[in-house]
Copies of this chain bind each other. A is one copy, B any other.
């Protein structure tokens, strides 16, 4: 997407990044300064080549300099190079920097540097999380995160949504204390004889989902979304769970069918996958991944509509399967990961929306269907990952909401504010939550969400 700035000034304050430079025509007359880190050096008799990158793009820049200048360069050192951008003589790049002056700004002992050039294990890089972004694939992932966030903002702004900031600290313990982080009591000022006490007027938790707060917004500004951190104190360790993760959540009013929510999800994710700025980084990341993963994403981003089937139909498919599952598929029981993976990987071979689950399997706020047994909800399953998005219509009928709260053993007083939203000018509405790191993992082919976020947190593991 072309970037256009509305202010009258068009001159940039900072010198161009390598990404910005590579978008220019070569011009041997113009003296430029390039800053960044050295990724590799190759010395020949009369000339030397150094790969320099400032993290702005996957390619980096080839610098051509004298062997004398190259002498001081080591992998990992930071440099300020002055020179001219010219058509490259060699293969592998269109442009290169003819260096006139080479300053090493910060040295890097090549023997001691923890980021050596040979392949480093994933586990080793997790242990060096502060240096890890210097590795190409991790830097790529960070750029992909930015690009996906940009695409999300593009899409939702275009559809008339307002981005809002729901709270992180909340008094709602949405999903049962076992999986929620709680804040400790806080000490009083030095010298106080009081013991530490609750800081707020009630127990405070870290949010597990912004949905209920988004519903409050959506009754004033009927289209809202957020991309913000969520937290789960879940001790089990899988390659798709983090204790701190980001979630895209959206909520909007005046819709009548759960398919309306699926439409927006499918549109939004396809919009993201088709973002032109992703191409270079995805190619880099796919080169480390299973070819099948890449093919799956290329197929999913095309015009063909994604499959949709009801939970009931999915159970039938599972019952028909020749595959032996650990858990038998039965109507009314939760689908296991093995079931979800089999549906997406083997039956549909692509993304699939499963809709209309039995009400007993889903939270109180999902809208009851007329059959009295199911709710108007969906999970979006994708190959290799399983659940990527969950969403539903929300129950807007006060009598049915009261019944659902009683059925789930919830205290109506705790949710009086949530009822108010319906009592005073309620409207049918719905929304969804998408796991940001799972999306990154699915589209890049990265195996574990711990590589999809810069500082991953999981049980027993907190670095920095």
Contacts and interface: CB of A to CB of B under 8 A. Distances in A.
Interface of A: 1-7, 12-14, 16-17, 19-20, 35-38, 54-56, 76-78, 80, 105-109, 112-115, 129-131, 133-134, 138-139, 142-143, 145-146, 149-150, 153-155, 157-160, 162-172, 177-178, 181-184, 186-190, 199-202, 204, 206, 212-213, 216-217, 219-223, 228-229, 231, 233, 235, 243-244, 246, 252-254, 263-264, 267, 270-271, 274-276, 396, 417-418, 420-428, 453-455, 457, 459-464
A220 B460 contact: no
Given A12-B159, A35-B427, A199 B181 contact: yes
Nearest to A204: B462
A200 B181 CA distance: 11
Contact of A168 (B20, B168, B177): B168
Given A106-B396, A134-B219, A160-B56, A464 B170 contact: yes
Contacts of A201: 460-462
A13 B457 contact: no
Nearest to A151: B6
Contact of A181 (B35, B142, B186, B427): B186
Contact of A6 (B1, B5, B457): B1
Copies of this protein, total? 2
A114 B455 CA distance: 44
Contact of A274 (B7, B129, B188): B7
Nearest to A255: B14
Contacts of A204: 462
A349 B8 CA distance: 26
Given A77-B425, A184-B183, A200-B462, A246 B130 contact: no
A261 to B, nearest CB: 11
Contacts of A219: 37, 78, 131, 133-134
A165 B453 contact: yes
Given A17-B160, A133-B216, 11 more contacts: A1-B4, A14-B159, A55-B221, A76-B425, A77-B425, A138-B220, A142-B221, A165-B454, A167-B455, A189-B235, A217-B454
B200 A459 contact: yes
Contact of A36 (B76, B169, B222): B222
B216 A276 contact: no
A186 B6 contact: no
A131 B3 CA distance: 37
A459 B159 contact: no
A292 B440 CA distance: 48
Contacts of A181: 169, 183-184, 186, 199
Given A220-B134, A427-B35, A165 B178 contact: no
A108 B424 contact: yes
A19 B157 CA distance: 12
Contacts of A172: 464
B217 A276 contact: no
Contacts of A223: 14, 17, 54, 56
Given A143-B162, A145-B165, A426 B78 contact: yes
- What are the 3 A-B residue pairs with the smallest beta carbon separation, nearest first? A55-B221, A133-B220, A200-B462
A220 B37 contact: yes
A50 to B, nearest CB: 13
Q: Which of A38, A168, A428 has the most CB of B within 10 A?
A: A168
